[in-house]
């Protein structure tokens, strides 16, 4: 399919983000709330999911399902971003304004994915 370049940009962002789960797994594990079990599994699972969904949005047969799943995935990531606000170790030294800005960014990313459902 011939999609707009920015859909492919989204695909690359999710693929690279997914790969980073394998390159820097400790960083991703550190930001997970302690009440979630199996941090290593969750980091690897979410990395694989991001890679698969990034690839899937490039194909007509899987694009819409992948976009819906990206939105769901971003909803599931919201507690992690909130946790980062209240846990110094999880915050990774990021400033408070950066941590706060990550929350509306999640909604912007959801809207970005939703936007491509019409193509």
pLDDT, residue 21, reads 98
pLDDT, residue 118, reads 84
pLDDT, residue 2, reads 84
Structure tokens given for 35: 């009440």
pLDDT, residue 9, reads 97
pLDDT, residue 1, reads 66
Low-confidence residues in the chain, pLDDT < 70: 1
In this structure, how many other beta carbons lie within 10 angstroms of the beta carbon of residue 44? 17
Closest CA to 70 of 112, 102, 28: 112
In this structure, how many other beta carbons lie within 10 angstroms of the beta carbon of residue 46? 19
Structure pTM? 0.93
Closest CA to 85 of 73, 103, 69: 103
- Residues 11, 14, 20, CA angle at the centre, nearest 5°? 140
* Domain regions of the chain by residue span: 5-118
Could you tell me if 102 and 84 are in contact, meaning their C-beta atoms sit under 8 angstroms apart?
A: yes
């Amino acid at each position: 399919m011939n999609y707009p370049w920015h859909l492919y940009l989204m695909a690359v962002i999710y693929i690279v983000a997914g790969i980073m789960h394998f390159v820097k797994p400790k960083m991703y594990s550190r930001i997970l709330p302690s009440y979630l079990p199996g941090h290593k599994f969750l980091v690897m699972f979410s990395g694989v999911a991001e890679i698969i969904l990034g690839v899937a949005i490039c194909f007509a047969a899987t694009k819409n399902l992948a976009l819906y799943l990206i939105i769901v995935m971003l909803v599931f990531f919201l507690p992690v971003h909130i946790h980062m606000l209240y846990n110094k170790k999880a915050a990774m030294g990021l400033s408070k304004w950066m941590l706060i800005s990550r929350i509306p960014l999640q909604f912007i990313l959801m809207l970005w994915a939703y936007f491509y459902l019409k193509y």
